[in-house]
Structure 1
Amino acid sequence: MDLSFTPEEEAFRTEVRQFFAESLPLRFTDRVRRGQGLSKSDQEEWQAILNARGWLAPHWPVDWGGTGWNVVERYIFDLESNLAHAPRVVPFGFSMLAPVLLKYGSEKQKHHWLPRMLDGSDWWCQGYSEPGAGSDLAALKTRAVRDGDDYVVNGQKTWTTLGQYANMIFALVRTAETGRRQEGISFLLVDMATPGVEVRPIITLDGDHEVNEIFFTDVRVPAENLVGEQDRGWAYAKYLLTYERTSMAMIGSSTTALAWLKALAAKQKRGGKLLIDDALFAARLARAEIELANLSTTTMRVLAAVAGGGAPGAESSMLKIKGTELRQEISSLARRALGPHAQPFVPEALDEGHNDAPIGPDEAASVTPHYLNLRKLSIYGGSNEIQKNIISKMILQL
């Protein structure tokens, strides 16, 4: 596989870099670089900038507002986006629901919901996990009963990322109890403003409000918001998860984090010598860099294999495992590099407008909160243990 870029691809990379240099607000760059969160209005502003350029949905078909980029161009854009410290586009609508609608949704659903993603009318969240139904998603108990032209939904979802911002949620619901557990599950689009929908915050270990519980009490959802066929939602859910897991290779974010870590190690001293010259640390750093190069190659191979319109299969599980483990390893090495400067937790240092001098190197304040937050990577999207089961069954035929 030739990993060198063609002159045309290098020209595209230059175009992307110029766009970020000219269009990415500096205040966004600073906040992302420092590990500070962005508000919903910040996210919406950045998405509007991307949409105005026609770059908000890189992997959508051109006919639906996508870019028409090939696999390499999408790879370059993602990498340069991270290197420029651009905000990450919230993926639930663009990268997760949209592929499902494009493949399984009705023409009416596609014409209604896809343009609303692009123009910012809708902010989507994901209603999959429940208490007792995380990686074992087929154990979900939220029920939807058909009543005339509506479904009546009762139940609970949990770990709903950014659900406090969302006005729409795509949810898996149980519509039948017969047969295998994977049967009888349906895929519904629910307006969060509907009576009976309640959002309760979950405050995480780092003090952040990122995830939520969502309760449904006699929520009436129009039957036209059913995606595909009733009781066939498990197939649509698996299709969506392959896209989520492939994106969790996180090549761009790992590349940026590793570059920062190498620069830090070249300045930090331990025992009178630079950390980059410490044999043990340098070996772990080199291993991370090698694994990132291998993961990058594998990711491009998987994306190229499905460039004709297919969906990644069990290979997405490999990318999810290696991508999350590598990202966690880099964050662990960052804490090790900072030493005692990684210990203080100053939550206000991550707030907008905080100007106090950092404890230790610049950007140190976010390292430990991010380390703690990134423990979730090997759990959500289907735990890594579940991904290994998928690989053993689908690829190794065990």
Structure 2
Amino acid sequence: MTEERLQTVMRRKAEAGRPASDGSPITAERAIVQAISKVAQDMFQLPAQVMNVTEGRRTLADLPEAIEPFSLIAIIEGPEESMGIVALPPETLSVLIEVQTTGNLAKGPGQPRKPTRIDASMVADFIDATLGLIEETLVETEAVVWAGGFRYASYLDDPRPLGLLLEDMGYRLWQLEVGFGHGFERKGQIVWAVPVNGRGHSLRRMPGLAEAGPITPDREAAEWAHRMENSVMGAQAQLDAVLHRVTLPLAAVMGLRAGMDIPIPSDALENLTVEGVGRRKLSAARLGQHRGLRAVRLVEHEEVDLQAPPEPKSRRVVPPPFEAGSSPFAGKSAPGGPRAPLDRIDSPAYDPEPGSGLGGLGGLGGFDGGDLGGLGGFDAGGDLPPLGLTLDGFGADDTAGDLPPLKIGSGF
């Protein structure tokens, strides 16, 4: 059952993409006219014929001027979040509501009124079916890029919020005059607006693929590759032509005013750089003009490798050569005169004079054979004798020392 349904869908798409029976190629105008008539007949058994079709270009600011008062404005959403509108004036909306509620058309349109949410829900299927059939008809043409992929998303009862909902760009505007009924006695209009630069590159199918027979893995892979190629080649790539870059402190940037001049080197016009995302250098260029507009001419510099990252600039610090100078103490003698007292550690008395033993230590004398009390004496010219310490005290074998015996209560 699934295979039969898939084959039916593929057959419908194949028939929609084929040229008309008279041999004329399928165009966007023909696809729109056929879609409105076919959907009205299939969904509501309502005869409909497009009397006149007008295609134009409008900006976002001029788009509300093409919409009649009390029109139901259907917001349609397409590929890559692109958005457009389908506006149904009161006459057309009245026809679609009457045929669904009573099954017949009145002799004349009713009094214009503000559309409601119920009205939007009743015409949403008609809008989706019409847009879907237009897409199927144009699936093998270039027009599917801007006409395909749109479906109903929401509605407005006032055109003023359009400036906040839609992107500020150019729009392709289709205005259709349609006759409804067996004698086409009821007249109405349909307004369809989509972005001029479409984003439905992935919707386009390879020409002739539908007539190739049943679906096979090879066909499916070929169709997938074709859609992938259309998506990749139709993707947008932003390139920046950099004339010169200036680095300024924040204080200078905050002081910039209109009319101030920023200095640029004279050779900057000949040394432009074409960069991609992330300041990746792609090519060198020169600034020029083409048909009165600024243009950039790509040039090749063999000596510059644009793919290699630039080498960081570093400063080499070379120390000066060492030269030994004269000593500031050369030819000076030690200061003479009386020694200072020993109450300070930085006193000159702690610096012994040459040949004076212990220098400024007074009557302690030198170590040349003197006796240091109980520690025993030693000859400065010989080896140090043993201290003669015992376990009982500090005394040596010779008890006749210079130190008097300790007295109890002396406070030592």
**Is the TM value for this pair above 0.5?**
no
Q: Which has the higher contact order (CA 8 A, sep 6+)?
A: 1
More helix per residue: 1
Calculate the TM-score normalised by the size of structure 2: 0.24
Larger radius of gyration: 2
The TM-score normalised by the length of structure 1 is 0.24
